[in-house]
Structure 1
């Protein structure tokens, strides 16, 4: 009984790890990049475009 519980727990842990690394990590990185771009855009609306 312990082996069966251990196996299902390990499968669930592997599934969770795969979901976090394949789905959530790229989504969070994309959201952070989008938030940074949005913040720069808002800042440039108030401060003006960069001068070169």
Structure 2
């Protein structure tokens, strides 16, 4: 049984897509989420003051 050339091209494209997502896109998304959360907390503390006893 021989592998179909179309299937081989599809597997290569799928592997390339996975690498692009895993190496390039998801790290930027993760940094954006963490940065966004930090900015949100910073703005919250700007208006309400730091936590803890006064």
TM-score norm. by structure 1 comes to: 0.83
Which runs of 5 or more residues in structure 1 are unaligned?
none
TM-score norm. by structure 2 comes to: 0.81
Which runs of 5 or more residues in structure 2 are unaligned?
none
Q: Which has the larger radius of gyration?
A: 2
Pairing 1:33-44 to 2, within 5 Å after superposition? 33-44=34-45
1:24 paired with 2:25, answer yes
Offset, 1:51: 3.1
Please list the CA deviations of residues 2-48 of structure 1 after superposition, one character each: whole Å capped at 9, or x if unmatched.
71111110110000001111111211110110010010011011101
Q: Secondary structure at the match of 1:50?
A: coil
CA distance in 1, matches of 2:28, 2:4: 35
Size of the aligned set, in residue pairs, is 51
Q: Any runs of at least 4 consecutive aligned residues in structure 1 with deviations exceeding 4 A, and if so which? A: none
